[in-house]
Amino acid sequence: MPTASDVSRLLNLNLDIADFSDFVPLIRNGFSRQCFDDFLSTSTIAKSILRLSAFKDLPDDADELSSDASDCLLRIARIYAEATDLFGDKSNVAQWMITKSLTLGDQTPLELLDTTFGYEAVFHELKRIQFGIAG
């Protein structure tokens, strides 16, 4: 299971974060645009991420993300890290994240990550897959 430090590295924050609650002040201040752009360039789902409501109106010249966009980016990065840990291959992760799931209400996991409730549903879906529990 990926740690808070693992997700910090995935986001190129270069911080040794002991717990996910340590992200709270960073989210409130907004992640840097560079952090967002770096994640997009290393993930295989960039185009799908940009379609999410949290990022649709992000100005090209913004130096930092809003707290809502930062919170959404953290949820995406956590699920991306968890899925990578489970599936191993980034192309498998990308395919899973953009494929509709009946157990997720015929939505893709990525589509749900713009809300906390959606994040919880996707996280539980990953755990069901990990433990071989039918949805």
Q: Is residue 107 part of a domain?
A: yes
CB 71 within 8 A of CB 26: no
- What HEC string does 66-134 produce? CHHHHHHHHHHHHHHHHHHHHHCCHHHHHHHHCCCEHHHCCECHHHHCCCHHHHHHHHHHHHHHHCCCC
The dihedrals phi and psi of 70, each to the nearest 5 degrees, come to -65, -40
pLDDT exceeding 70 applies to what percent of the chain? 99
Q: Is residue 124 part of a domain?
A: yes
pLDDT confidence of 41, banded at 50, 70, 90?
A: very high
Q: Is residue 91 part of a domain?
A: yes
pLDDT confidence of 135, banded at 50, 70, 90?
A: low
Q: Is residue 64 part of a domain?
A: yes
**pTM for the whole thing?**
0.93
Total domains present in the chain = 1
In this prediction, residue 1 carries a pLDDT of 83
Q: Give the DSSP H or E segment for 24.
A: helix 24-29
Q: Is residue 135 part of a domain?
A: no
pLDDT by residue (tens digit) across 58-106?
Answer: 888 889 999 999 999 999 999 999 999 999 988 999 999 999 999 999 9
pLDDT confidence of 134, banded at 50, 70, 90?
A: low
In this prediction, residue 33 carries a pLDDT of 94
In this prediction, residue 57 carries a pLDDT of 86
Q: Helix axis angle, 116-130 relative to 67-87, nearest 10°?
A: 10
**Domain limits at 102?**
4-130
pLDDT by residue (tens digit) across 1-25?
Answer: 899 999 999 999 988 899 999 999 9
